[in-house]
A and B are shown apart, each in its own frame.
Chain A
């Protein structure tokens, strides 16, 4: 489903050249829950940006659902993002001027979906995160945990191939974070692939596989047993 081979990402300025990812090879299969951990500046976000087609890589090969994305132009990358990937951001990234319904509706509109189908999907997504009754509210009227649930609903509404979560509990208190994690596990159990970047080792241990990055390279790629994951939970 997601396959990276010797992916390298170099940031260049006039004075400095920084290699954010180096010889990075990784395969993620359908239905996996993979966490990406590592210290600050190790390349976690760079990996997430490249995996989510938010940035291009410098060299190497990246196959997304069998498509080599290396040579794709901006338009094709936007369409792939829209159809294959769901994003969950640390700061939720909801549109403050839009109500919950319109927020979740955003990716479907870019897909050109008809109004009736969009409404059905958005209502279902809101219902799945328990916020259907508040669909006319704006994000500022919700708690942090509720806002992240809206963001999860937005990520799921397009029925993507996989979810990319960037520190999804980073801005939440521990109790709320547990709730969000439980929701993500539930989503994963229903068959959706999740790749989650986190610096929280305890959360990482709840996933099926943990990849540790150090200086732009994978330093550890660990399959975790369900028992261990359950114990950690």
Chain B
């Protein structure tokens, strides 16, 4: 191995080494941090809402005119929906998970408004919500029809029972876990009893810090607008979306049906910014890695062309083709090594800066060494072709005068 001579020779050609090393360092800094951000976004996007998303859709009914009776219409609509072949269940709701729009309440475990409140998303719905949303009830029980209360959305909201997510139960009663069933919390100075706990149900706001803290409440509004969440049997959703929209619109001339959308569409819309950012970052990574690879190839080709006679001389002095190949691969390894070492420092510094400036999570330790290895591997792959061509240089070139 020619480690010593290669390092000494590189130290006499500092400018080229520094420039390509800085390029590698910069690429590594951007690449590793971008991959981390993409992974974080991917994790966010991959979180389950708790619902049977592929088979769930929703729509709204808005009545108009003096003849319109919202309570009767909603009752008839829900009966029709639940009896439609292919529909598993349907429920009224004020909000759709991960849609970006909904209601929240501040909850306290003591009736003292001066204490800090725990935020939670509230879904005003009925006893069909657990089944419609395909939630897993892990403790307690579902609502019954007799639990339901009806009021206008303009009135002060009043409810006595709630089914909460496990995350909310653990937030309110950290020591209790599933034993939080039967306990009460206070909202607006009124006690609410936890009757059940579901494994998971996300809030309407996917980027909220309390996205996993949500609850179902047996309350329905008597307003002119009702939103229905509908779960279908697998493979029936698209057909039923069309059929149900037409049926509901046709059986009552005093209202309009709007906002027909599947939960999958809602997810795509809610996470569009995240997925766009991931795509942009991916393009940046690929572009940077490509440019850096071309830089490495360019430097290698330039170095080889400049040293053709030297290579011929080395061959004349007894170097095998493999030894010539190894020489240039090693040379690149050291240049890349300097680059990724500087890059490691910059990557960590940049990550800390991002973390403190944008309140992002701290990057896991393994990103940096993986990034280093990856860039060294990319460098070795990039320089393999030029090195192989260098190994083909004939030893007779050593005796040529030009």
CB of A154 within 8 A of CB of B398, answer no
For residue A142, CB closer than 8 A to chain B, the reply is no
Per the 8 Å Cβ criterion, residues 305-337 of B in contact with A are 309-310, 313-323
| A102 and B5 contact, Cβ closer than 8 Å, known pairs A54-B394, A89-B398 | yes
Tell me if B399 and A48 are in contact (CB < 8 A).
Answer: yes
Contact count band on B: 20 to 34
The answer to whether A110 and B316 touch (CB under 8 A), given A54-B394, A91-B401, A102-B5, is: no
State which of A24-32, A79-87, A204-212 sits at the interface with chain B.
A79-87
Judge if B396 is at the interface, Cβ distance under 8 Å: yes
Contact B318 A79 (CB under 8 A): yes
Query: Closest approach, in angstroms, between the C-beta of A87 and any C-beta of chain B?
Result: 5
Hey, which chain B residues are within 8 Å of A75, CB to CB?
Answer: 320-322
Question: Which B residues lie within 8 Å of A102 (CB)?
Answer: 4-5, 8
Cross-chain contact A110 with B318 (CB below 8 angstroms)? yes
A98 close to chain B: CB less than 8 A = yes
Q: How far is the CB of A162 from chain B (nearest CB, A)?
A: 14
Q: Does B386 contact A (CB under 8 A)?
A: no
State the majority secondary structure of interface residues on B. helix
> A residues within 8 A CB of B5?
98, 102, 105-106, 109
Measured between C-beta atoms, what is the minimum distance from B147 to chain A in Å? 85
The verdict on A43 contacting chain B, using a C-beta distance below 8 Å, is no
In the docked arrangement, what's the CA distance between A55 and B2, Å? Answer: 26
Interface residue from B9, B318, B396, B399 paired with A78 (Cβ < 8 Å)? B318
Q: A233: CB under 8 A from chain B? A: no
Interface residues of B in 279-320 (CB under 8 A from A): 309-310, 313-320
Q: In the complex, A55 Cα to B312 Cα: how many Å?
A: 12
Report the separation of the CA atoms of residues A87 and B318 in the bound assembly, to the nearest whole angstrom: 10
Q: What distance in Å separates the Cβ of B370 from its nearest Cβ neighbour in chain A?
A: 33
Q: Mark B9-27, 1 if CB is under 8 A from A, else 0.
A: 1001100000000000000
Q: Which of A78, A90, A110 contacts B401 (CB 8 A)?
A: A90
A154 touching B317 by the CB < 8 A rule?
A: yes
With contacts A97-B13, A98-B5 taken as known, whether A49 is within 8 angstroms of B396 at the C-beta atoms is yes
- Cα A49 to Cα B9 in complex, Å, equals 28
A171 closest partner in B (C-beta)? B401
Does B395 touch A at the CB level, under 8 Å?
yes
B310 touches A109 (CB 8 A): no
Is B320's CB under 8 angstroms from A98's CB? no
**Residue from A81, A97, A111 in contact with B9 in the complex, judged by beta carbons closer than 8 Å:** A97
A173 CB to closest chain B CB (Å) equals 18
The 10 A-B pairs with the shortest beta carbon distances in the complex, nearest first, are A82-B318, A97-B9, A54-B396, A93-B313, A110-B318, A107-B317, A54-B395, A78-B320, A102-B5, A55-B396
Partner-A contacts on B (CB < 8 A): 2, 4-5, 8-9, 12-13, 309-310, 313-323, 394-396, 398-399, 401
Ordered by A's residue number, 15 sampled pairs between the chains whose C-beta atoms are within 8 Å are: A49-B396, A55-B394, A75-B320, A75-B321, A78-B321, A81-B318, A83-B318, A93-B313, A95-B310, A102-B4, A102-B8, A107-B317, A107-B318, A110-B318, A158-B318
